[in-house]
Amino acid sequence: MSQSPSYTLNNGVQMPALGLGVFQSSPEETTGAVSTAIADGYRLIDTAARYANEREVGEGIRRSGIDRSQVFVTTKLWFTDYGYDAALRAFEQSLTLLGLEYLDLYLLHWPVPSAFDDTVAAWRALEKLLSEGRAHAIGVSNFSPSHLERLAARATVVPAVNQIELHPFFAQPQLRQVDAERGIVTQAWSPIGSIRRYWKGEQVRQEPLSHPVITALAQKYAKTPAQIVLRWHIELGVSAIPKSVKPARIAENVDIFDFSLSADEVAAISALDTGERGGPDPEKVSAQFFGTKDKS
């Protein structure tokens, strides 16, 4: 059983470097995936109101038998609940569904550039939750350097985490640097690049896991391509939250702490960056962008 090391957030909170994501995990599969991951040594579970599986995440934690204090739980506020009072109500709903008394990390799921006043008002609600100890850390997701700058001009608390699309084909070096300069830990969603298939709905010509640079390293270290990519994130100082509901894959993804990549190998993977985003563009996000369907 492997267990992730931790990163220290800008308020001193310890966050595991590697966790389980449950984006697109069906409610029927989520509980088992969470309890399996905890048994395999995961101590970070990431969900969101939008994923409609918070209840099952909470059940998976309870079924694991582990003490609540040993699991770092993240969820996210969907932007239809932005605004101060709406954000506080949505937080209570998430806590109720999870069956928890506090969150380790609460994130704004997306910036809404066309309604940034509401984004800021939601952030102020998160600052209140932080001050009350109901969220031990607060952060953002999918914020670009300009969004971080706009928020900083009106915020009291610096986000602890910025969770973004990040994988070898979209390495986001500028944004990672800005995060670091602001004392923000970068966290990667879709860390192995699967979003290219999920979001675009098309057969992509090549994925990170099949690139010769990565497959050669997998052969060298007797690891899988996914393990090489996840180790690359750790070498960069990035937190990663790979999603899976398959027990074998869940166990594989956490088994990355018995080897390391050289600086040259990390650079070779980083050089695969295409600059092409696989998922939604944060500059275009609005209620209309995601359609009329609200979160469950």
Residues with catalytic annotation?
A: 51
Rounded-to-5 percentages of helix, strand, coil across the chain: 45, 15, 40
Distance CA 151, CA 154 (A): 6
Residue among 177, 83, 92 at smallest CA distance from 135: 92
Structure token pair of residue 89:
């109500």
Identity of residue 251: A
Do the bridges between strand 239-240 and strand 185-189 make them parallel or antiparallel, or are there none, so unpaired? parallel
Distance CA 234, CA 250 (A): 17
Q: CA of 231: how far to CAs of 14, 15, 130, 185, 254, in Å?
A: 19, 17, 31, 16, 10
Distance CA 93, CA 87 (A): 10
Residue among 139, 164, 215, 130 at smallest CA distance from 21: 164
Cβ neighbours for 250, distance < 8 A, ≥ 6 positions apart: 20, 33, 36, 37, 40, 42, 244
Residue among 164, 169, 195, 168 at smallest CA distance from 179: 164
- The residue assigned the tokens 């509901």 is 245
